[in-house]
Structures are given as C-alpha cells and as structure tokens.
A and B are shown apart, each in its own frame.
Chain A
Amino acid sequence: MSRRRRLPVSLALIAPLGLFLLIFFAAPLYTMMSAAVSDPIASRALPGVGSALASWDGSAAPGPDAQAVFARDIRSIEDDQLFGDLVRRLNSAKPGFRTLMSKTRTALREDLKANDLVAIDERWSDPAYWQAVKTATASTFTDRNLLAAVDLERSPAGDIQAMPAGISANRTTLARTFVVSLLVTIACLLIGFPYAMIAASVEGWKRQLLLGAVLLPLWTSLLVRTAAWFILLQDNGLINSALMALGLSSGPVPLIFNRTGVVIAMTHVLLPFMVLPIFSVLIGIPKNLMPAAASLGAAPIRAFWKVLLPLSMRGVVSGSLLVFMSALGYYITPALIGGAQDQMISSVIAYYATGAANWAMAGALGIVLLAATIILYTLYLRLASDQQVQP
C-alpha cells in the first residue's frame, strides 16, 4: 500500500490505545498534578469574597461592604463538609481560624441581619486574618503543597522560607530515597558488572546457566521474591540460623525491618536490570581486544582499565540509570522488608493518598518523583538511541 493510503489506516489503528492511555494514563497523572497545585475550597465556599477583597489595601480591617459580602457567603454555606474544608484551609494558613470561624458562623446564623464581624469577634479587626482570607479566595492555584513537598513554605509576607525543623520530614524522606537508591545501584554494579563479564567470557551451557540465574528471578513474581527474603532475613531465619550455627554471631543479627534488609532485597530484585544491559554491550566487544591489549604489553588489570571498561561504559551507565530510576519509585519491597525509618518516597505518597486522604500532598510528592523519573528516563533513552546510531 502506498504511504499516502496507509496514513489514515495507521492513525485509526493507534487511536484506540492512544485514547485509552489519554483517559486512563495521562488524565490521571494530570488530575494528580492539578490536585497538588489547585486550591479551590475557599473560592468555592466564599464565591463573592475574592472580588470584594480585590481592592483592599491590607492596612486595616476591610470596610463594611466587604464584611457584608463575607457574612452573606458564610450564611449561604449549607454543606457542613465544605465549611469544614474551608476552616481547615484557612487554619492551615493562620492558626486561630478554627474557633473564629465556628463562632462567627453561629453568630451570623442566629442574627440574620448582623454584618459587623468585629462585633462578633475582636479578631476580625486584625488584618492578618483578612490577609489569609484574601490569599485563599484570590486564586485557585497554590504552590503550597509543592513547597511543602520539599519542606518549604511561604511566610505571611509571601517569601519562600524553610519550614521550622520538626514539622515535616519530606526532605529526610527524599534524601533517604536517594541514598537507598544509590546504595542499591552501587551494590548492583559491584555484583552485576563482574557477573556480566563472567557470563560474556564463557560460552555454551555455562553462559546459559549464568543468564538463566538472572532471568529466573526476573520472571518470578516480585511478591514471591520479597516473601522469600522475608523468610531468609527474619531473626530466626535461615541466614541468622547459619550465622549462629557457624558461631559467627551469638545472637540474631537484625537484617529485617531495617535498611540492610531493604538494600539486600532491592539489590536482588533489580540486579537483572544491571546485568542484562552490561552483558549485551560486552558480547558486542570483539573477543580479541583483550589479547590484543596484552600483546601490546598491557597487564590484565591495565588492559581492563584502558580497554574493556571504557568500551562497556555505555552498558554500565544504561544499567545504572535503569536500576536507580526503578529504585526511586519502589514501594513493595521497602513496605514489607523495611522498618518505619526506611520508608521511601513512594510509601509516603501512599500514606498521604490512602491513609490521610491528603491528595494534595500525595500529588505534590508524586510530581517530585515523576519529574525525577522522567529526567532519568530521558537520559536513558538518549543513551539507547545513541547506541543505535553506532555501527
């Protein structure tokens, strides 16, 4: 079929999957991201206040007109849940709103004509409260969650500043995620590179056996592997029993519910992703290069350093990127093998989303993780396409 006639057919064929992924892949990610940056509660609960306060200069409490709009909006909130959300939103900007709002709402409902808020509560004369209302109603966009994801906040004046110590641990979690992923990548490299070299240096059944040992775990359910490590690593598990039987240790070495266990189990899970790219680069290197280097007078270690390592660098970098990228988003293994102090960013996201029902924070941390993953993947793709150009 000629190219011109093919195009509409090709488009029609990719359209179903394109639409499916647009609706169930792109849209959810977009929903998650917009949940992180949108702040619609205040403007929904108080629809008139935003424009009423738009021209307010912020030096003293706003005039009676604006206060009347505020009172009208408060009276017309029927939905208690919406009111609760509004209070929570305002309280998170300035503590004190919780009591102030419920007192104000009760008073406004009892006296349908009352419009002087200062008379209801003295605090309404403080411009700081009005500032919080103005900020909350002015825009449906917020960077609060994104900043909070990296332990930053805005001061009342609007400057970005660090959160007080002890309030949030997101930076710690991010740093831990990074460190654990790095440890896993290094461990995979230390085991995977020599392993790939050995597999590339032998032939026949030996190579099949070595590769099979990598592929079998890759094919095995992640849960099965995690459960297996659970059995091996527990205090009275096989490893500790062996250590004690050999007299290497008098009591059980803590291997589970800590970082050691997480790194061991994740290394096992991700090792194939390191071995396979390096192996595929190594078997592409002509076998006679090392003998050639030796014949030119290079000792084995020098020949490795000067010849084999530079040529296999591409596989090493691909494998490392793949392992590091996968490790960043890992959830199951840390959740089952790690302790409370080893939870990675995915666990925190899952906690916010399913435990605390705080989708805004889940979304904000999700954006951080997604951005890191996409950057690493782009690097990986770059590397992979460069590889294709090479002869």
Chain B
Amino acid sequence: MTQPFIGFEKVSKVFGALTVVDQLDLAIHEGEFVSMLGPSGSGKTTILMMLAGFEAPSSGKISVAGRQVDQLPPHKRNMGVVFQNYALFPHMSVADNIAFPLSMRGVAKAESDQRVRRALDMVQLGALSDRRPSQLSGGQQQRVALARALVFEPQVVLMDEPLGALDKKLREQMQLDIRDLHRRLGLTIVFVTHDQSEALTMSDRIAVFNRGKIEQIGTPNEIYDHPATRFVAEFIGETNLIHATAEAADGEVSRVVLANGQSLSVGRKALKPGEQVCLSVRPERIKPSGTQENRIAGTVRDVVYHGDHLRLIVDAAGQTVVLRSERSEAAPTIGDGIEMSFSPRDCWVVAR
C-alpha cells in the first residue's frame, strides 16, 4: 500500500489524569471522505484539533502528505477548518470573511476578489457578499464558513460537527451539498460528527470512536452490517442484541443456543463452544413470519405506530425483540402469539 495522505502513528493526548486519545493509529488516503463518529467525550474532536494544530499530541506522530506536522503551528498547516457554530468573524462582511485566508497568503486584490466571487457562487450566496454574518440565517452562515474554508484550496478540509446547529431539513440538504463538493473538487475531508445517520450518508469510510480508541473503521456498509463490537452495533442504527451461548462450529455453519434451549444458525464464524455472545440483528431484518431459517416464537407486548411502518415489541425466549413490520390489515395486536424469523446472513455475532 502507498503511504497514507494523513497518518496518525501511536498518537495519544493526555489531559492531567485523563487519557482522551489512546495510542491512535489511523491512515486516511488522498481524496477520501472519512467521518469520525462517536459519543461526546470519545476523543474525536481532540483528534481533529491535533490535526489542525490547536492541540499538541502528548506522544506519537502526525503526518500530512509525507511531512510530519506535529510541531507546525496552525497557521502554517494549510488546512481548511469548518468549525462547530462556524466561527465567522462578526466584525467583517461575508466577502471579507472569505477573503481573509487569501489576504493572509498575499493574494493580490483583483485575484482575491475574483476567487471570493467564485467561492460565493459555489455556495450560492453571491448576492449576500456585503452582509454581516449576524444578518444571515444559520444555513447561510454554514455556507459562508464552507466557502471560507475552501477558497484557498487547502490540501485537507476538517469539519467539526458543521451541521449540528441546523434543523433537520437543512441539515439533510447540506449533507448532499457537501458530498457533492467533495466529489467535484476531489477534496480530502475529515468530518467529525456524533450523528450516525450523517456519517452513514456522507462518508467513504467511518471511524467509530469510543473512549479515545477506534472501535472499528470501515465503509458505511461494513460498519452497519458487520459491527465489530457490541458498542458499534448499538451506536450505529438500532439493533437487537440477543444473548446466546456458542454451541459448535461444524464446518460451514456455526450455531448458538438461546437460554430456552433453542438453537440458531449464524453463518460461518469461528466460535469457541460455551462462549457467551450476543447476536446483533437489525429490526428491519426480522420478518414477522416464519419464512427465514432462524425462527423464534414470542408474544407481542406492544405495537407502536410510526406512520410508514409499525414497530412490534415482542417477548421471546426470555428477552425483548424489536422488529419492523409493514402496515397492513393483518398486523398483529397486543397479546398475539407470533413467529419471527431471520436469515443467518442478517445476524452478526459480537462479544458480550
């Protein structure tokens, strides 16, 4: 493999007695869109701040484009940063905000004006160049921040929860816009978020963080369908964690057994007999009928109406299982006995 564009090698950050980032190794390739996803306090923002140069690592090495950058002050790193709450300069107009990085680089006035205009057009804000940031809506401020971070054509763009302050509709629009810019301009983007659906929508790869360590890194598909740990399974999307004990691995198929003695097939997976495990099964992969290989019988405890679908909460094998069901005349009601089933391909074994 070629040398990564952005590389973290055994990077740690310690504040007093608290280890915020623990021996991080991470490689990001040129042109990639990588999201750092995790709950607050998982260290993802600290990693971004170290990459931007606002925090120095306690130990380890950070390199960008083959050059070690840990000792480089932020203003020499040439990275576009889009901050949480945008950090637009309130005392400058929109155009002056965007011209700021160009003026720092000694770009001549005429060229600077032209590039500012192009950047404003790119984010569809050409008409607002003389406004103060406080006169703009949240979404417009977001676009100005984006234009300002891109106008000087940085080698890397860092985004720290850039969409967190927007309402849902606008946020979804901006997600598509940023993804589009990423493709069009061939940018390398490191994107910090705590919103898993945002990460799934936008990223080439997602790094899931927990307590200063990467739990799993992979494409949205891998992360969603094959969570490496129980934390990832629970953090990304909604899942059922069914407690089970590994039974035997006989050739192609592994089997686990539930508390009530029922045996289930989980596909090929190296398991030690007797190991305590969890089966992660997404609610939408469980069918409210006995059509799949793994069948479980249960009693409907509650039916929750969700507009386009129903959610059934079922007591089965001494545990609670949630599944999605289409709306139909034949939908089960509370107290009904029900047979559920899922395919071995749709369940994933994680350590308990």
Contact = CB atoms under 8 A, between A and B. Distances in A.
A5 B72 CA distance: 12
Nearest to B55: A2
A113 interface: no
A127 B161 CA distance: 89
B73 interface: yes
Contacts of A4: 56
A123 to B, nearest CB: 74
Interface string B55-82: 1100000000000000001100000000
A2 B55 CA distance: 6
B248 to A, nearest CB: 56
Contacts of A2: 54-56
Give the dominant DSSP class at B's interface. loop
Interface string A1-42: 110110000000000000000000000000000000000000
A5 to B, nearest CB: 8
Interface residues of B, number: 5
B150 to A, nearest CB: 24
Nearest to B50: A2
Interface in A79-125: none
Contacts of A5: 73
Contacts of B56: 2, 4
A79 to B, nearest CB: 63
A341 to B, nearest CB: 59
B273 to A, nearest CB: 53
Contacts of B55: 2
Nearest to A2: B56
Nearest to A5: B73
A5 B56 CA distance: 10
A5 B55 CA distance: 11
A5 B73 CA distance: 10
A85 to B, nearest CB: 60
A4 B54 CA distance: 11
A4 B55 CA distance: 10
A2 B56 CA distance: 6
Most buried by B among A1, A4, A5: A1
A1 B56 CA distance: 9
A2 B348 CA distance: 44
Contacts of B73: 1, 5
B282 to A, nearest CB: 42
A4 B74 CA distance: 14
A1 to B, nearest CB: 7
A16 to B, nearest CB: 25
Nearest to B74: A1
B13 to A, nearest CB: 11
Interface in B130-187: none
Contacts of A1: 54, 73-74
Most buried by B among A2, A4, A5: A2
A5 B54 CA distance: 11
Contacts of B54: 1-2
B344 to A, nearest CB: 52
Contacts of B74: 1
A2 B73 CA distance: 9
Nearest to A4: B56
A5 B75 CA distance: 14
A234 B56 CA distance: 70
B210 to A, nearest CB: 26
B51 to A, nearest CB: 14
Closest 4 CB pairs of A and B: A2-B56, A2-B55, A4-B56, A1-B73
Given A2-B54, A2-B56, A5-B73, 5 more contacts: A1-B54, A1-B73, A1-B74, A2-B55, A4-B56
Interface of A: 1-2, 4-5
8 contacts: A1-B54, A1-B73, A1-B74, A2-B54, A2-B55, A2-B56, A4-B56, A5-B73
Interface of B: 54-56, 73-74
